[in-house]
Structure 1
């Protein structure tokens, strides 16, 4: 262990001596292991879990996964529909949204430092919520976070396939992809991502480091191309609809709002936050890699903050370049070339054909790495929740770690199958499959703020902070985060039209795609799951646990005796 903050400790872990509140706390428990362990393994044992993964991630590599999941270039390309084509190209909505998103990220980083486990926010909820409602709140947080995770890779890879087809149509206008072709290409990308995600942690770490370098480099290159190779004057020369246009938009045009919805401008701006929320939705990934990260209680929250702050600043710079170069949002909406991808339409307005091909190809490559990173994060979540017995049909399969790769291969392919089923929504229409984007935003936000709610209320005076904490700003930032999410949840369900223009095709199906499964999860808990689901459960061998003779609560002494009798 080269990390100076890690140190070897005795083989016996006295849970109550560690600064952690866990499913084993306050029970006088000592965990006996047959080898020397470091502080990382001591922490995960105290949280109630075996150390089953190799800790081959560090601050940089876990940030690499997180920034790759963020995938700013492909995310901005995928979300043009949900931001620029709602309120205009102004960077103002990005600035406002990033302020609140960073607040959420900081609050979640503080939680991650205290509970560095792959289970993520649900584990924190189980320890921070009042005992009477902890099981149901943990259950709902699990399902919400899982919905966020399993929709991530399919939506990213669907977007990547759309970029590839748009490039094909751009170079050959007679080519128009069918729904079947779109599904098949997305399927192929999903298969490759799943294979890569099934590799050992060391290889995944290297792949994601390459992916992060590509994401950063390609973002910088496309940013430079947009500004340095801007040929919009030449491209629109002689066009009677535009006349003579300057090389860059004026400050008023670049920063002005252009409401393209039937809602008031303030509501439209809030609706445009979906683009920012989705583009910035990867900052929670380090939380789910905690059990594979060295010095997790410090490195993981730092990676979360680095991703949110770095992504916000870099994204703003890119949005600024777009706002000063975009020619016509109306023309992008009309899509006269039938490209089906607004970002490629935007590039075609300002760049010559070879540069459009180069910039789009880079975006496709970045999108692939983003999809693979999303798959990595999602597989760890499925594994962790299977370990806790969340899923009625495949928990036993999903909780197994492959003996060769030491990674949750079963969870990877479970997610693959579910992702392909979700992508069948594209057979309905673009609005239906677009709901996957909105679902990822709402589902993630709900799971992010649930532990924050209890941290700043019920557990405010008992919360045991980790090495990373917000000090006196913890509660104010917590309330700011919760307030933002409470406002945004209904906003993200708004359709872009209303009144007589609201048809089934124009409807926002997010409420159905998200709240439908969540309602079923709630009903299932009330009818059956409440009988057996009590929250996260330890997978430690009972033989490694001993209880203190003095001071142990009677119910835990009885529970220990019953377990021992059953094993005998």
Structure 2
């Protein structure tokens, strides 16, 4: 059995259990109760990974897909950034850069989904890293990945709010070209959107959150159909297919460099694919549901973003005007429809969809930060490790995420370029968190690190994904640091390197603050089948775990559900 350290025993804090929860926290279910409670196996799998089940399992598969896609929203996300790809390489880089970005990101996601299937936990990547890393390095490696994940998600959430701000400001400029937007205007709008997007998660009961995310999915897909059909139907002409096969960049970079940078830009359309992992403890059968949700989210993203951007490219009449526009998507809508009212209506629909993605981002940020504080990864973890008994979710860490976004938004007052550079860094940071556990799995042999699991890539596919992820993240990380255009001006300067340096300073400072008591989860490696180099053969690992749970009833005597953290 995994032993807890003295520091873990001495530092105790209450873990609040949601009302009417079906399983007694910290108690191994007997054989009969497994038939009465279908979630008992999942709860005990979580116990074996060092955590007590304290969240209501309210997400079904469709609700989980809704959560994942409402955040990713590939076609809407790309609508917010395709203008940069037009600068890199014209329509060719914009369309085919998106397709390549989907392919490379999918390989990354497949490797991550396999690990989530093996170790379902709201902690996600840092949790995988702790389990997979050598004992000597696991604490520091898990801490680094955890901090990168938390900061990355916080800043990506800021980017979602920022996109909506830019949409609204762009619409105002479209109606009134004489308006001169000030940074403080953007910041006030930014704060207002934060407050408005918090309403659903504080008013919708926890058990109905899955219905909310399903509705968000439906709104996005319906919006895609409306926008795509409208611009094609109202356009009085279409570009020749040769327009899409012409590489026409104006960034000043050589074609090869510009092509890779366009792929990096398009990866934003498939960012945050780990969202569903961070609600693993709130879904039924997460070992199976998480990989399905992640792959279906990618499929929906591909089937919406590619037709949308193809339609956009076919209806463009003045490419230079789109490149120069404050809001490229609105300019394309106007060129396609020939009507300001119709263009504003289509852009307003994008604003609504941007709004629907924000509550899901607060959900993910709150859960991830709570999971990390549960393992004492943050200062004052005893305070942050809290589930509201009345609302049934981690309110404190959700509000901590909100506080960060409000403070971070002050960069609007200083430099919008610095603000956008940090967003780019966040996308890179989240991908780094995908790469680290996969690199560890690759280096230390997959067959020794991963137990049998419902979603298995196989030997060839597994090694391919685990090798590709760190290779691609390293490569694209270099190109992300390049300025957007040359010659470099104050407006095109890229501050990603500066931001990365600041993040490293924050990381080191936090490590010296929490290293005395950050020990990670109390993993029972024997129950996970990771004690030896060969894992038990029969079926899925949770079936083997079920047999062990029946045999090792001593877990109920040594587990202290109150003092774990």
TM class, shorter-chain normalised?
A: 0.7 to 0.9
Closer/same/farther in 2, CA of residues 530 and 412 from structure 1, 3 Å limit: closer
> SS in structure 1 opposite 2:293?
helix
Match of 1:516 in 2: 502
CA offsets, 1:530-555, max 9 Å, x none? Answer: 3332333579xxxxxxxx9xxx9xxx
Partners in 2 of 1:85 and 1:262 — Cα distance? 9
Match of 1:72 in 2: 74
Closer/same/farther in 2, CA of residues 193 and 203 from structure 1, 3 Å limit: farther
**8 Å CA contact 1:274, 1:441 repeated in 2:** no
Match of 2:228 in 1: 223
Q: Normalising to structure 2: TM-score of the pair?
A: 0.83
- Alignment pair present for 1:146 and 2:136: no
CA offsets, 1:106-164, max 9 Å, x none? Answer: 11110110111100011000111111111111111011111221012221111112212
- Alignment pair present for 1:121 and 2:125: yes
Closer/same/farther in 2, CA of residues 306 and 191 from structure 1, 3 Å limit: same
1:254-293 alignment runs, 5 A limit? 254-293=244-283
**8 Å CA contact 1:108, 1:452 repeated in 2:** yes
Match of 2:471 among 463, 471, 483: 483
1:10-159 alignment runs, 5 A limit? 32-33=27-28, 36=33, 38-90=40-92, 91-159=95-163
**8 Å CA contact 2:221, 2:304 repeated in 1:** no
**8 Å CA contact 1:67, 1:282 repeated in 2:** no
Match of 2:521 in 1: 536
Partners in 1 of 2:230 and 2:386 — Cα distance? 47
Query: Where does the alignment leave 5 or more consecutive residues of structure 1 unmatched?
Result: 1-13, 16-22, 24-29, 232-246, 540-547
Q: Normalising to structure 1: TM-score of the pair?
A: 0.83
Deviation at 1:443, TM superposition (A): 1.0
Closer/same/farther in 2, CA of residues 47 and 260 from structure 1, 3 Å limit: same
- Alignment pair present for 1:497 and 2:482: no
**8 Å CA contact 2:485, 2:492 repeated in 1:** yes
Match of 1:342 in 2: 328
Deviation at 1:192, TM superposition (A): 1.9
Match of 2:22 in 1: none
Closer/same/farther in 2, CA of residues 173 and 375 from structure 1, 3 Å limit: same
- Alignment pair present for 1:183 and 2:168: no
Closer/same/farther in 2, CA of residues 169 and 364 from structure 1, 3 Å limit: same
**8 Å CA contact 1:83, 1:274 repeated in 2:** no
Match of 2:403 among 397, 417, 429: 417
**8 Å CA contact 2:376, 2:519 repeated in 1:** no
Partners in 2 of 1:455 and 1:40 — Cα distance? 24
Partners in 1 of 2:435 and 2:518 — Cα distance? 22
Match of 2:427 among 433, 441, 444: 441
- Alignment pair present for 1:456 and 2:460: no
CA offsets, 1:339-386, max 9 Å, x none? Answer: x22221222222222220221011000000112211111111111111
Query: Where does the alignment leave 5 or more consecutive residues of structure 2 unmatched?
Result: 3-7, 9-24, 525-547
> SS in structure 1 opposite 2:361?
helix
Moved more, 49-58 or 420-429: 420-429
**8 Å CA contact 1:286, 1:301 repeated in 2:** no
CA offsets, 1:175-218, max 9 Å, x none? Answer: 34322221111111111222322343223222221111111110
Deviation at 1:519, TM superposition (A): 3.6
> SS in structure 2 opposite 1:494?
coil
Partners in 2 of 1:480 and 1:63 — Cα distance? 25
Deviation at 1:504, TM superposition (A): 4.1
CA offsets, 1:64-88, max 9 Å, x none? Answer: 0001001234312221243223222
> SS in structure 2 opposite 1:289?
helix
Match of 1:360 among 335, 347, 353: 347
